[in-house]
Amino acid sequence: LDAIRLQAFTESNGARPSTFGIPRVAIVITDGKSTDSVATVVSANLLHDAGVITFAIGIAGANEAELDEIASEPNNKDFVSSFDAERLRALQVSISQRACEDMYYI
């Protein structure tokens, strides 16, 4: 999460300036639990405070409490048991719609 905030969404790495109003969207996919849940919560909050719309997708075994913290909104969390083509299309549509809705609240 820190790498997303400190590296991925920096102008020096290609992110548009935040003044452009282009939403910054991160999708985190995990199948487990972090080694430091306190640090995960802190990092997730810093990411949210930076204005990044964050989606958390858990695969079997993912820690639901951590997904709740990582997702910037409660409806930005999802669980999947596998990534078949149909499920991927459904996630793509769902995330696209939610990301576009969220950008109006930035």
Per-residue model confidence as pLDDT tens digits over 41-66: 999 999 999 999 999 999 888 999 99
pLDDT at residue 64 in the model: 92
Q: Going residue by residue through the chain (106 aa), what tens digit of pLDDT does each one get?
A: 999 999 998 899 988 888 888 889 999 989 889 999 999 999 999 999 999 999 999 988 899 999 999 999 998 998 887 777 787 788 888 888 777 765 544 4
Q: pTM of this prediction?
A: 0.81
Concatenated DSSP letters of 11-69: GGGTPPPGGG---EEEEEEESS--S-HHHHHHHHHHHHHTTEEEEEEEETT--HHHHHH
Q: Residue 76: which residues within 8 A CB-CB, separation 6 or more?
A: 53, 54, 55, 56, 98, 102
Query: CA quadruple 1, 101, 89, 64: dihedral positive or negative?
Result: positive
